[in-house]
């Protein structure tokens, strides 16, 4: 991912509302020193199981009501189904109109909360003109209904994660598409976290009723999740600091005016930061009092202890350092295991013979 010199500040937008063995972070935290406590992972990272092999740049991961998993392949536009008992997934859909260039392509997946009734799967992908969200029913060549479009695309900073939140609304993370002012422009969907209805309309209770924008000032968010006191998102920094942020409605997280902490009263500081070489954080999950973030450039899984009030209660630690290479996505499965995907065939990794893979890690004993 290109990292460039940070530009001068832009005007602030006005917004309503508001390794297998754990290893410590090797960089000195940018924020004030944490307490001595470290994350206590709930999973046994010494006992992996392989759920799928020989994938081509897996990106999105979502689960069907029957417990099987859907995974998107960024460059092939295929959606595969992963079931227990076989490490060879089956193709269940292939989307049309996907333009895979740079970091774009078929990205995030989400399953409708009413899937048993409506059968809808949602996908975020890069087209020839923009990034967009569509919904469809699983089929070899599904009919795609555009839910939301007009998110600027680029060869990098395309965002792409989508989830239905605990409130039943659809959330999406977008990148600044390489145009830094987008992040502070409340009229642009880029550099934002968006919140919308299942049909792509502004969700009730949004900071600005007529807008899908939920938070702004983001460079490139590729992971977010809920638990332990709220919503959290991981964010790619530029040259210095990658971040984990506690997301609040209408919150401004500072990009491009600030990277990392130090934004004063105008911006919300992250709850955890890493040097960019140690992270490039993508998918994120929260389980219990721990946040898990998959690191691409850092080739590890970061664990962040949470205090249940929207902050961190201790020092982030890393597991799986260099064990599986670049890690893209992490999700808690309905089986209670932690699912992690590799991203070693994306042009920046060193693929093993069976890459890319989906791995599962069981709950820790006791």
Residues 10-20 pLDDT 10s: 333 334 333 33
Residue 36 — pLDDT band, cuts 50, 70, 90? very low
Residue 256 — pLDDT band, cuts 50, 70, 90? very high
pLDDT at 229: 87
115 secondary structure, DSSP code: H
Average pLDDT on 238-255 reads 97
234 secondary structure, DSSP code: E
Comparing 189 with 3, which gets the higher pLDDT? 189
pLDDT at 20: 34
| % the chain with pLDDT above 90 | 86
Mean pLDDT for all residues in the chain? 91
Residue 32 — pLDDT band, cuts 50, 70, 90? very low
With a cut of 60, say whether residue 30 has pLDDT above it: no
The tens digit of pLDDT for each residue in 95-122 reads 999 999 999 999 999 999 999 999 999 9
pTM here is 0.90
| % the chain with pLDDT above 70 | 89
CA distance 131 to 61: 18
Q: Please tell me whether residue 183 adopts helix, strand or coil conformation.
A: helix
Q: Which helix (H) or strand (E) holds 116?
A: helix 115-118
With a cut of 80, say whether residue 135 has pLDDT above it: yes
CA distance 361 to 359: 7
pLDDT at 38: 58
Average pLDDT on 326-341 reads 98
CA distance 314 to 85: 38
pLDDT at 37: 52
The tens digit of pLDDT for each residue in 288-314 reads 999 999 999 999 999 999 999 999 999
Residue 355 — pLDDT band, cuts 50, 70, 90? very high
DSSP per residue, 305-365:
EB-SSSSB-SB-EEESTTTSS-EEEEEE-TTSPEEEEE-TTSSSS---TT-S-EEEEPBPP
Residue 40 — pLDDT band, cuts 50, 70, 90? low
């Amino acid at each position: 991912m290109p990292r460039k010199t940070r530009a001068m500040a832009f005007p602030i937008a006005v917004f309503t509302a508001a390794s297998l063995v754990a290893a410590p972070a090797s960089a000195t935290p940018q924020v004030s020193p944490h307490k001595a406590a470290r994350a206590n992972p709930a999973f046994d990272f010494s006992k992996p199981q392989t759920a799928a092999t020989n994938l081509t740049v897996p990106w999105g991961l979502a689960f069907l009501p029957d417990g099987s998993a859907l995974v998107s392949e960024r460059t092939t536009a295929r959606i595969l189904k992963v079931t227990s008992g076989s490490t060879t997934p089956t193709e269940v859909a292939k989307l049309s109109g996907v333009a895979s260039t740079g970091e774009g392509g078929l990205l995030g997946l989400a399953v409708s909360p009413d899937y048993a009734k409506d059968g809808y799967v949602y996908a975020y992908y890069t087209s020839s003109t923009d990034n967009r969200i569509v919904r469809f029913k699983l089929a070899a060549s599904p009919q795609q209904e555009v839910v939301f479009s007009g998110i600027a695309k680029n060869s990098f900073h395309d965002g792409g994660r989508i989830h239905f939140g605990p409130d039943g609304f659809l959330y999406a993370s977008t990148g600044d598409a390489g145009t830094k002012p987008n992040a502070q422009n409340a009229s642009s969907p880029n550099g934002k976290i968006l919140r919308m209805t299942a049909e792509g309309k502004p969700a009730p209770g949004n900071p600005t009723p007529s807008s899908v924008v939920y938070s702004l000032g983001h460079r490139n968010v590729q992971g977010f999740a809920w638990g332990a006191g709220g919503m959290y998102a991981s964010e790619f920094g530029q040259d210095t600091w990658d971040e984990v942020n506690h997301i609040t409605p209408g919150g401004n997280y500072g990009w491009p005016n600030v990277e990392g902490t130090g934004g004063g009263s105008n911006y919300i500081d992250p709850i955890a930061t890493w040097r960019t070489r140690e992270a490039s954080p993508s998918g994120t999950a929260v389980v219990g009092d721990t946040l898990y973030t998959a690191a691409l450039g850092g080739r590890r899984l970061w664990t962040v202890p949470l205090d249940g009030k929207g902050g961190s209660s201790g020092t982030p630690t890393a597991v799986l350092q260099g064990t599986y290479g670049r890690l893209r996505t992490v999700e808690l499965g309905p089986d209670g295991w932690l699912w992690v995907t590799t991203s070693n065939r994306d042009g920046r990794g060193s693929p093993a013979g069976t890459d890319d893979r989906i791995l599962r890690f069981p709950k820790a004993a006791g």
